[in-house]
Amino acid sequence: MEDSGDADLLRGCIDGDAESWQAFVDRFAPLVAEACRRTLLRSGRPSGPQEVSDMVQDVYLHLLS
Give the whole-angstrom CA distance, residue 16 versus residue 50. Answer: 28
What DSSP character marks residue 17?
A: -
The residue among 43, 40, 46, 41 whose CA lies nearest residue 59 is 40
Q: What is the pTM of this model?
A: 0.78
The pLDDT score that the predictor gives to residue 3 is: 63
Asked if 46 and 40 touch (Cβ cutoff 8 Å), the reply is: yes
Tell me the per-residue pLDDT of 47-62, one tens digit each, with 9 for 90 and over: 889 999 999 999 999 9
pLDDT at 63 over 80: yes
Predicted confidence at residue 64, as pLDDT, reads 82
pLDDT above 90 for 46: no
